[in-house]
């Protein structure tokens, strides 16, 4: 590819004044990193919209607080669901909003943008994210698959001829990938991650305790007492609505119950890890045996999930330092390397086959 042929003379003039940015466009959280300034935005991927005018009322944490609490003419939506873009127009608006806030400059600044996208997005969606970034003022946009970004951000030696394995457990998807020499060699993506765990808890409370609870309450229960293995057990009081009477009710649940509620999702994550290992070449398996599997994403913080995965896969497993920010750090690191950017463009057009289930 002749990169020089792609250079716009205006970019050479404006380049030094622009702030290149890296974005982890996650289904649960969007993180934005600006070269020279570091992490500037870390907000839930939620947008509150006026249904009639389609005007944006709020984005991020402010919009997340509105979920389930909006009047009839306002909706709080999560435009990315289960690792795919479910509402493109809103995703574009959200991206534009974050890019503009991140640039925050009165000068004509046209940043280059590196965006981490779920590896389950289709080519049409990749094009859409790319175009949205250009519409928001970017002069170039490079897309990087989340597990690759997570591996780079977690400090794995992705370009060396050695096997690195990462499991990124986000809100919408769990992505398992084995990487060697800068390429994803084997990968599996499942739509089971933090959001599904929240739904498990909502279903459990409904079925076992006759209690209707919202998504945020379920997430709080998961974070406070959720676990993947037997431990010093905890309990938490949950507020919701009694399904029989329709009245408010409080129920105290234990970590034992929540572990049972989460068991199906945990099993699906373990199974995705095992299936990826099964199709990994033996030499790389030996490397991973030595160096271990790295867990990234917010879901990696679930208590004892690392121990459970180690027990079930028989590989050493560890949680990355700062797992929620691995992807954005990886995107930022990719941004620093023109050679990586050039390769990303090639990857964008020719991606390896992937198991999706
Ligand atoms: N301490 C914790 N224990 C368990 N889960 C947690 C914890 N902290 C955050 N999470 C969960 O992590 C998920 C969000 O993780 P993350 O920000 O990595 O997702 P994302 O990158 O937006 O999603 P995706 O990668 O699927 O697009 C949420 O489901 C959240 O509830
Ligand atoms: Mg993610």
Domains of the chain and CATH, by start: 4-149+326-356 (3.30.420.40), 157-192+266-323 (3.30.420.40), 194-262 (3.90.640.10)
pLDDT value at position 111?
A: 86
Length reported for the chain: 357
pTM over 0.85: yes
Which tens digit of pLDDT belongs to each residue from 302-348?
999 999 999 999 999 999 999 999 999 999 999 887 556 656 654 44
Residue nearest to ligand 1 atom 19, measured at CA: 170
Q: Average pLDDT of the chain?
A: 88
Q: Which ligand minimizes its atom distance to the CA of 299?
A: 1
What average pLDDT does this structure show over 170-187? Answer: 94
Q: Is 67 exposed, middle or buried (0-12, 13-18, 19+ CB in 10 A)?
A: middle
For residue 104, how far is its CA from the centre of ligand 2 (angstroms)?
25
% of the chain at pLDDT higher than 90:
64
Give the closest residue to 194 by CA, choosing from 27, 21, 33: 27
**Percentage helix, strand, coil, to 5, in the chain?**
45, 25, 30
Give the closest residue to 118 by CA, choosing from 255, 251, 297: 297
Torsion of CA 342, 348, 349, 352, to 10 degrees: 110
Which atom of ligand 1 is nearest the CA belonging to 296? 18
Which tens digit of pLDDT belongs to each residue from 66-85?
887 778 888 889 998 877 78
Question: Would you call 184 helix, strand, or coil by DSSP?
Answer: strand
Q: Is pLDDT at 94 greater than 70 in this prediction?
A: yes
Residue 95: which H helix or E strand, with range? helix 88-103
Q: Which runs of consecutive H residues, i.e. helices, occur in 227-254?
A: none
Which tens digit of pLDDT belongs to each residue from 199-221?
999 999 999 999 999 999 999 99
Give the closest residue to 213 by CA, choosing from 63, 221, 195: 221
**Which among 44, 299, 302, 320 is the best mutation to test ligand 1's pocket, defined by most ligand atoms within 8 Å of the CB?**
299
Residue 229: which H helix or E strand, with range? none
Q: Is pLDDT at 236 greater than 70 in this prediction?
A: yes
């Amino acid at each position: 590819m002749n990169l020089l042929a792609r250079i716009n003379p205006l970019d050479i003039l404006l380049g030094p004044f622009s702030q290149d940015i890296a974005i982890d466009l996650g289904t649960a959280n969007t993180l934005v990193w600006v070269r020279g300034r570091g992490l500037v935005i870390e907000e839930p991927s939620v947008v509150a919209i006026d249904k009639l005018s389609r005007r944006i009322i709020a984005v991020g944490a402010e919009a997340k607080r509105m979920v389930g609490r909006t009047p009839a003419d306002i909706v709080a939506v999560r435009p990315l669901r289960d690792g795919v873009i479910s509402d493109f127009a809103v995703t574009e608006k959200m991206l534009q909003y974050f890019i503009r806030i991140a640039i925050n400059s009165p000068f004509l600044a046209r940043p280059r943008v590196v965006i981490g996208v779920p590896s389950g997005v289709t080519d049409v969606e990749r094009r859409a994210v790319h175009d949205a970034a250009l519409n928001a003022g970017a002069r170039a946009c490079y897309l990087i698959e989340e597990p690759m970004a997570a591996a780079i951000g977690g400090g794995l030696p992705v370009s060396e001829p050695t096997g690195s394995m990462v499991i990124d457990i986000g809100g919408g998807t769990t992505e398992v990938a084995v990487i060697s020499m800068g390429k994803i060699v084997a990968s599996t993506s499942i739509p089971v991650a933090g959001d599904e765990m929240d739904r498990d808890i909502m279903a459990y409370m409904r079925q076992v305790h006759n209690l209707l609870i919202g998504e945020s309450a379920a997430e709080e229960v998961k974070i406070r007492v959720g676990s993947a293995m037997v431990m010093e057990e905890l309990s938490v009081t949950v507020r919701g609505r009694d399904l029989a009477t329709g009245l408010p009710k409080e129920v105290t649940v234990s970590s034992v119950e929540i572990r049972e509620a989460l068991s199906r999702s945990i099993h699906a994550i373990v199974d995705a890890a095992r299936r990826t290992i099964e199709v990994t070449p033996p030499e790389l398996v030996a490397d991973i045996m030595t160096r271990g599997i790295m867990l990234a994403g917010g879901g990696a913080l679930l208590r004892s999930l690392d121990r459970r995965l180690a027990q079930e896969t028989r590989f050493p497993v560890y949680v990355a330092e700062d797992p929620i920010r691995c992807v954005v750090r990886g995107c930022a690191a990719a941004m620093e390397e023109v050679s990586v950017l050039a390769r990303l463009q090639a990857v964008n057009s020719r991606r390896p086959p992937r198991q999706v289930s």
